[in-house]
Amino acid sequence: MVEKHIQIKCGSSLIENIFQAYYDARKNKRNSNSSLGFELEYEKNLVKLFWEISERRYVPSPHSAFIIDKPVKREVFASEFRDRIVHHLIFNYINPIFDPLFINDSYSCRINKGTLYGVKRADYFIKSCSENYKKDAYIMKLDIEGYFMSIDRTLLFGIIKKQVIKRQDKLTCELDLILYLLEKVIFCDPTEGCLVKSDREAWQGLPRSKSLFFSKPGKGLPIGNLTSQLFANIYLNEIDQFVKRELKFKYYGRYVDDMIFVDNDKERLLSAISDIREYLADSLSLKLHPKKIYLQHYSKGVNFLGAYIKPHRILAGKRMRRNFYSRVYEEMFVLGGMDLAAENRKEIDMGIVKFRQLANSYLGILGQFDSYVIRKGVVELVIDNFKMTFAADEDFGVLRLR
C-alpha cells in the first residue's frame, strides 16, 4: 500500500518541505544503517541538504547494488537516505499535479489503489462485460519487456517537464527548483560508482533485460526508489490515455507494466495488440513482451496481481500460496528450535510475537480471497505444534495467543 504523504502547503519554505520529506522518508527506514547514520545529526544534515539544493550543488550519492530472491529474483539499486529524502521531496511537489491526470484504473503507487484494488476491478470488469457471466467476454493481458530497464530518461524528463510547466500554477515551489531536482534524479546513472553488495554470481540467472548493468545508455530507472515508481506511472500514463481515448476500451486497467483488457469482441482485442505495440515503440521506445501476451475466454480464469480470478470466486495465486507456506514453515522451524521453557523469556517472547505477526500478516492478505482451506490447513498445523502457545478464531483468519 502506498503511504499517505502530507501535501505541501503553498507558501511553505524549502527547509520546511525538506523536513517534511525527511519525516516521510524515515517512516519505514529508521533501522537501516544509512538512516541511522543520518539521524545522529539529522538537523545538521537536513540544513546541509537544504543549502546543497538551494545553491544547486546537490549531487546524488552512489547507489548500492544487490540481488534479492524473494518474492522473485530481481536487481535492486538502493539510494542513500539523504537521496531518499530528495525523492520524497520531489514526490510531494509533483504527485498532486500528476495524480489527477491518471486514469482511475492505474493502480500502482497511488493512495487507496494497489494490487487488491486492481484485482477487484478486474473481477468487476469481467462480471460487467459478461453481464454477470451470461455473455461471452475475453480477457487480454499484455506486459512490457524489461520495463524499468527500458525507460528512456530523456523522453521521461520531457513528458514530466511539459506537464509541470503547463500546470506550474499548481506548484508549491519554484519551477526552476523542481526542474533542477528532476533533472538531477532522472539523469543520475545508478551504475556509476555503485557499491556492489551481492556476489557477482548472484546475478547469474537474471535476464539481461532486468539489469541496469546491461541497459542501453540513457535508459533505465532503479527499481525501488519512490521516484522510480511515480516516474514509471507517469511514463505509461501515455499508453493509458491512448487505450482509453484512441482505442476506446471501457474495461482496461494497469499495474506498473501489467495491462489487462476485457471485451466482448475477441478480434478487437487481437487487433489492438499491433496498435499498442506500434504506439509503445514510436512514442515511448518500449517493446511488448512477446511471450507474455494472454488472450482467453473469461471462463478459463486469469492470473492477475497475485490472484487467480475465476467466475464467482477469486483465489490466492500460486506465488502467494507458496510464499505463505515457505515463510510460515521457516519461522515455525526457528520457533520450534527455541526452548520454550528456557529462562531467556524475553528472546522467546520476541520470537513468538514475530511469528504471530508474520502469520497474521499473511492470513490478513489471504482473507481477501477464497482461501479458507489454505488458512485452515496451515493454522491447524501451527496449533498442533504449539498447542500451549497459539489458538485461532473460527474462520482461521487470525492466530491468537492463549
pLDDT 10s digits, 156-175: 999 999 999 999 999 989 99
Domain-located, residue 205: yes
Whether 167 and 252 share a structural domain: yes
CA distance to 98, 260, 374, per residue, from 198 (Å)? 36, 35, 35
pLDDT for residue 12 is more than 80: no
Give which of 170, 169, 172, 164 is closest to 13, Cα–Cα: 172
If phi > 0 it is left, if psi is from -120 to 50 it is alpha, else beta; for residue 44 that is alpha
pLDDT at position 224: 80
Whether 267 and 325 share a structural domain: no
Whether 255 and 346 share a structural domain: no
Report the length, in residues, of the chain.
Answer: 402
- Mean pLDDT rounded to a whole number for the chain: 91
Whether 190 and 126 share a structural domain: yes
Give the type of residue at 48. K
Winning range, highest mean pLDDT, from 59-73, 298-312, 373-387: 298-312
Instruction: List beta partners, residue 76.
Output: 66
DSSP string covering 344-391, please? -HHHHHHHHHHHHHHHHHHHHHHTTSS-HHHHHHHHHHHHHH-TTTEE
Lowest mean pLDDT among 76-80, 123-127, 362-366, 398-402: 398-402
Q: Please give the helix or strand (H or E) that residue 195 lies within, else none.
A: strand 195-196
pLDDT for residue 341 is more than 70: no
Whether 296 and 229 share a structural domain: yes
The total of structural domains in the chain comes to: 2
Q: Residue 56: which residues within 8 A CB-CB, separation 6 or more?
A: 180
CA-CA-CA-CA torsion for 359, 360, 365, 366, nearest 10 degrees?
Answer: 70
Supply the range of the domain harboring residue 338: 317-401
Per-residue pLDDT, averaged over 323-337, amounts to 81
Domain-located, residue 334: yes
Confidence band, pLDDT 50/70/90 cuts, at residue 29: low
Confidence band, pLDDT 50/70/90 cuts, at residue 11: very low
User: Which of 286, 310, 334 is the last residue in one of the domains?
Assistant: 310
What is the Cα–Cα distance from 184 to 290, expressed in whole angstroms?
34
User: Which of 310, 329, 355 is the last residue in one of the domains?
Assistant: 310
pLDDT for residue 138 is more than 90: yes
Cβ 305 vs Cβ 143: under 8 Å: no
Domain-located, residue 5: no
Whether 130 and 217 share a structural domain: yes
What is the Cα–Cα distance from 81 to 26, expressed in whole angstroms?
8
User: Which of 291, 310, 329 is the last residue in one of the domains?
Assistant: 310
Opening angle at CA 29, ends 25 and 30, nearest 5:
105
Whether 146 and 274 share a structural domain: yes
Whether 90 and 166 share a structural domain: yes
Q: Residue 100: which residues within 8 A CB-CB, separation 6 or more?
A: none
Strands (E) across 234-372 are located at 251-255, 258-263, 294-297, 302-304, 307-310, 313-316
Cβ 343 vs Cβ 293: under 8 Å: no
Look up the pTM and report it. Answer: 0.88
Strand order in the sheet with 64-68: 74-78, 64-68, 195-196
Residue that is written with C-alpha cell 473481477 in the block? 123
Whether 236 and 371 share a structural domain: no
What is the Cα–Cα distance from 213 to 192, expressed in whole angstroms?
10
